[in-house]
Structure 1
Amino acid sequence: MAAKGVARTRGTIHDFPDFDANKDAETLHKAMKGFGTDEDIILDLLTQRSNAQRQQIIIGYKTVVGKDLIDDLKSEISGTFESLIVALLYPPARYDAKELYDAVKGAGTSEDVLAEILASRSNAQIHQIVEAYKEEFDSNLEDDLTSDTSGYFERVLVSLVQGNRDQTDADPDLAVEDAKALYEAGENAWGTDEEKFISILCSRSVPHLLAVFDEYQKINEIDLEDSISGECSGSLQCAMLAIVKCVKNKPAYFAEKLYNAMKGAGTDDHTLIRIMVSRSEVDLVEIKAFYKAKYDETLHSSIVGDTGGDYKDALVKICAGDD
């Protein structure tokens, strides 16, 4: 029971009580048949069911309607609203796999997406993503990454996609050694020893890396993030910073990404949808808290001010409150 209680405080979407997959399937079908589509019913229902329940609704829809729910939704809705609703219907590992596939197979490579997903997922999640990628696209994720990226950025991704990060507690003596090694590889070197950064940041456990970061600041009086920003550039910097930020505070990392997706001219809807959907049952409550603390406005108010229509209404439902 305790574990369930903890989960409820971290995500904004939970299992819907008195759930009936076939009844929900019939409700969605009625919302789409006839003249016009009732978007409010679609967004209300699907944003208030957990992902596991949505998978049952997909099966229920085929059972009671004899058609594919996602195909029917795509024929009835469009634009960013369609993208968001369809994203909600993917199982988490398949959704991550799809985002990675789009990042390497689309026009150009979305290095930021590759870094975000691979730096923020656990070993077990990465193994599930690799399996889902193979199943969905009949392709090997590591092979696709290596064919589409290069240099030290490619090596970071290859390391992360192994899903083999150490899981042990911090080793205080080794933390001092690692901090010194990072200092000697960067701030105290002529040029940067990228291999040393990759070796430590991609393989050590999260508790150990937190200890390394503390020791690094003692040696150098500079935060490792600042050192990486000065020592690396481009896609390698993006990946290294994603790792460090996720180790330090994953909800704060995603809060920053959401803020950047909505600030300035235009909205990065792709990033907004991906993070809101993928974190909705994980830690969106914490992301909201860090967002408000850092940017002095709520995530809810940013969404309302930056989006519109059914798309906005669905995002607001996922956000679950202006707090």
Structure 2
Amino acid sequence: MIYKSGDTAESDVFAMRRLSVPLHGHSTGFDYKHTTLHLWKTLTHSVKTHKLDLNFILRFLSSYNCAQRLILVHDLEFEYNYNLIDMVLEQPESPIRSCTLAMLIEPIELYVRDFHDLLILKLNDKSNSDISRKLVQIVLPLDNDDTQKFKETYKNLFENSIETDIEVVQGEKTIISKLLIQLLEGQRNEEPNHSLSATKLIAKKLSEGVEGGKPVIDYDIFIKIFTHDAFAQLSSIFDMYEDQYGCPIQVAIEHQCQSKIEAECFQDIVEYTRSPSGYHAKILRQALDKEPIDYTTLIRTIIGHESKDLCEVKLEYSKMYDETLHQTIEHRIDTAEIKKIFVVIIATGDDLTPRNGEEDCSGDKDSSSSTGAPLNAITSKVMEKKSKHSLDVLEKFAQILKMRTSN
């Protein structure tokens, strides 16, 4: 039976019932063949009687981690010629659609699609705000290997080089275009050490630029320092400048740049260099503070970092804002299904029960506000279930991809 998204109480009962049963008859296996068959039957029945039920897909996928979800999606296409990603993309744009899509694809593809959407938005003059910082936010955390995957994925999806599209939208030879393209070169030194002599020289040049009122470092060299030097080297430069010359590094950056948005993009690199988890925690808070809520950024950060560094981001968020990310999500997210997915993903290691007799004030803004206890029960069941999945998921994923390639 397929439950409609409005049947909140029934959907909670359905989810709890499904999650309380051992996975496919045993507690430790991930029987992706059986699960894929069940999902395929449910989806094909759903599209015959209703439109594609994105809420059901979200609830179903919430039981599995990123690698397992990818296995199910690929096996659906391989075994049953059912391209779930394309079917989701055919649905009208909405936060639910974006969240569902994010659960079906690899994090790199999620970043690529968001990057491309921003470029298209700006190209069509549908964005009144500057997209430069968001573009930097997407590519800044990528290491050299991920950067190459990012460019390859962009080319495969949109049949154009990302460098060309950046210059079309952001302008040729602008500082922002050069910064983005240099970040995407994937040539950053990833060694943890740094050069003290280079640190002193660059800090001195930055100081001279502030004192003289004009940049001393050539723009191309300045960009290359921020995009190619190791993060340890950058951190040393920033600290040396502030300790030696008694001035925030932001002042030197502002003197080096030609506009406020350029300075903000370089300042983002400073913040990420000093604390990657703190940088992402700040991005999450800004997205939650927006009116309306910036679901695109929340989805990219929470789902995209699920299997990477979300635990560190959650910890830093708690330190910075005196409440857990889980608590903020409960209070502010106004879309019930997205709230449930976010809570499940961020729940690892969290104490989901109210502390010291505090009331559970989850869901003030949506129709599921009366189901705070079931939501926590669902989350606990999901996390228990995830912890029991077998460790051969990635091997099975590789086998599926190998079979698809050979055919």
After TM superposition, the score normalised by the length of structure 2 is: 0.69
Q: What is the distance in 2 between the residues matched to 1:246 and 1:140?
A: 26
Indicate conservation of the 8 Å contact 1:192/1:231, yes or no.
yes
> In the alignment, does 2:203 pair up with 1:179?
yes
Q: Paired residue for 2:344?
A: 317
Relative to 1, partners in 2 of residues 1:160 and 1:73: Cα closer, same or farther, differing over 3 Å?
Answer: closer
1:305 Cα deviation (Å)? 1.5
Task: Work out the CA distance in 2 between the residues paired with 1:278 and 1:171.
Answer: 33
The aligned residue for residue 92 of structure 1 is 107
| Cα distance, 1:278 vs structure 2 | 1.4
Q: Aligned to 1:120, what secondary structure does the other structure show?
A: coil
Which of 158, 171, 177 is 1:154 aligned to?
177
Query: Is 1:209 aligned to 2:234, yes or no?
Result: yes
Asked if 1:198 is matched to 2:213, the reply is no
Query: Which ranges in structure 2 are unaligned for 5 or more consecutive residues?
Result: 1-26, 352-407
Task: Supply the AA of the counterpart residue of 1:304.
Answer: E
Coordinate RMSD, CA, aligned: 2.6
The residue type equivalent to 1:208 in the other structure is Q
Question: Bigger shift: 150-159 or 248-257?
Answer: 150-159
Q: Distance in 2 between matches of 1:166 and 1:257?
A: 25
Cα–Cα, structure 1 residues 191 and 261, in superposed 2: closer, same or farther, change >3 Å?
A: same
Alignment of 1:1-323 (within 5 A): 18-32=29-43, 33-34=45-46, 42-73=57-88, 79-106=94-121, 107-108=124-125, 110-150=131-171, 151-168=174-191, 169-185=193-209, 187-193=210-216, 195=219, 196-225=221-250, 227-228=252-253, 232=257, 233-307=259-333, 308-321=335-348, 322=350
* 1:169-222 C-alpha deviation (Å, 9 max, x unpaired): 20112111121122223x223134571532321221111111111111112222
Counterpart contact for 2:287–2:294, Cα < 8 Å: yes
Q: Deviations over 1:229-276 (max 9, x none)?
A: 576444312320221112111111000000000115320111111111
Q: Distance in 1 between matches of 2:342 and 2:176?
A: 33
Q: Check the 8 A contact 2:54/2:96 in 1, yes or no.
A: no
8 A Cα contact 2:54 2:100, kept in partner: no
CA contact (8 A) 1:103 1:111 kept: no
Deviates more, 1:295-304 or 1:228-237: 228-237
Q: Is the 8 A contact 1:262 1:268 kept in 2?
A: yes
Which stretch shows the higher mean deviation, 22-31 or 222-231? 222-231
Q: Hey, what's the Cα distance between the residues in 1 that align with 2:205 and 2:252?
A: 13
The structure with the largest alpha-carbon Rg is 2
Aligned sequence identity (%): 24
SS in 1 for 2:232: helix
Q: Which moved more, 1:215-224 or 1:104-113?
A: 104-113
Query: CA offset at residue 31 of structure 1?
Result: 4.3
In 2, the alpha carbon distance for the partners of 1:29 and 1:76 equals: 18
Residue 17 of structure 1 and its aligned partner are, at CA, apart by 5.2
Superposition deviation, residue 47 in structure 1: 3.0
Deviations 1:86-118 (A, max 9, x none): 112112222222222112122346222211122
Size of the alignment, in residue pairs?
307
Q: 1:39 to 1:145 in 2, by over 3 A?
A: closer
Stretch moving more, 70-79 or 305-314? 70-79
Look up the SS of the partner of 1:188 in the other structure. helix
Aligned AA (1:316): V
Distance 1:17 1:162 in 2: 42
Mapped to 1, the partners of 2:307 and 2:211 lie a distance apart of: 43
Q: 1:78 to 1:305 in 2, by over 3 A?
A: farther
Deviation at 1:300, TM superposition (A): 0.9
TM-score, normalised by the number of residues in structure 1: 0.85
**Residues 55 and 96 of structure 2 are in contact (CA less than 8 Å); yes or no, is this contact kept in structure 1?**
no
Q: 1:41 to 1:101 in 2, by over 3 A?
A: closer
Structure 1 position 129, deviation (Å): 0.5
- 2:207 and 2:224 map into 1 onto residues whose CA distance is 14
- 2:256 and 2:199 map into 1 onto residues whose CA distance is 21
* C-alpha distance after superposition, 1:59-109 (max 9, x if no partner): 221345432222445678973122111112112222222222112122346
Deviation of 1:156 (Å)? 1.0
Return the offset for 1:48.
Answer: 3.7
